[in-house]
Chain A
């Protein structure tokens, strides 16, 4: 099991603030990096799958970048809304099947 580190562990921002969090993973044997959003009492929902160094992906107000050489990915949320409150999970894929998940960043956005 390879370690995937996410920081911060939790974050509390005001509505309208922009925020970002980090996912660190082993830089060797990189295959893919996944981001998921997990709202309370719901199932994890895929946000992005990134495979190439320098990848940048965007979905509405949420975007992500990937640096495979140094082993990190950033997730950005622009103008946070209360509905963005969730746990954001990243998962590192180093082989054909296995996803290694981090513990997640818990985001709370208050009005």
Chain B
């Protein structure tokens, strides 16, 4: 009963292509996040947003960019894909409230990206 959707689930594409990974949620959450996970490694936060027109970089440096024009939509873009971008990307959202509220995060199924 996922309320947060990511597309595509899998993407294999050549170097140099522009890629957009889609993430949408129907829960009305203001806070949204993008995580990157390499095999056998931890999830690392690469971008987050507190609401429309708010985006910030996470702890792990990433060449990707994000936008938040609508509450429900938080796409991630790679302008020119490279093999080093091969990874799994997970989108998440959490309930609104105060900045410091401790709500769990709700995750999408992820996108497995492979750059040839």
- State the A residues within 8 Å of B (CB): 1, 4, 31-32, 34, 36, 41-46, 49, 51, 89, 91, 93, 96-104
Q: Is B26 an interface residue (CB 8 A)?
A: no
- State the B residues within 8 Å of A (CB): 2, 4, 31, 35, 40-45, 48, 50, 56, 58-60, 90, 99-100, 102-110
**Known: A43-B108, A44-B90, A97-B48. Is A49-B42 also a contact (CB below 8 A)?**
no
Q: Which of A1, A44, A97, A104 is in CB contact (< 8 Å) with B107?
A: A44
Residue of B whose beta carbon sits closest to that of A51: B102
Residue of A whose beta carbon sits closest to that of B58: A98
Interchain pairs with CB closer than 8 A, number: 58
Question: Cβ of B2: which chain A residues have Cβ within 8 Å of it?
Answer: 43
**Known: A34-B104, A97-B48, A98-B59. Is A43-B110 also a contact (CB below 8 A)?**
yes
Question: Cβ of A89: which chain B residues have Cβ within 8 Å of it?
Answer: 43
Please determine whether A49 and B103 come into contact, CB atoms closer than 8 angstroms: yes
Question: Cβ of B110: which chain A residues have Cβ within 8 Å of it?
Answer: 43
Please determine whether A103 and B102 come into contact, CB atoms closer than 8 angstroms: no
Residue of B whose beta carbon sits closest to that of A91: B43
Please determine whether A96 and B108 come into contact, CB atoms closer than 8 angstroms: no
A51 to B103, CA, bound (A): 11
A89 to B42, CA, bound (A): 9
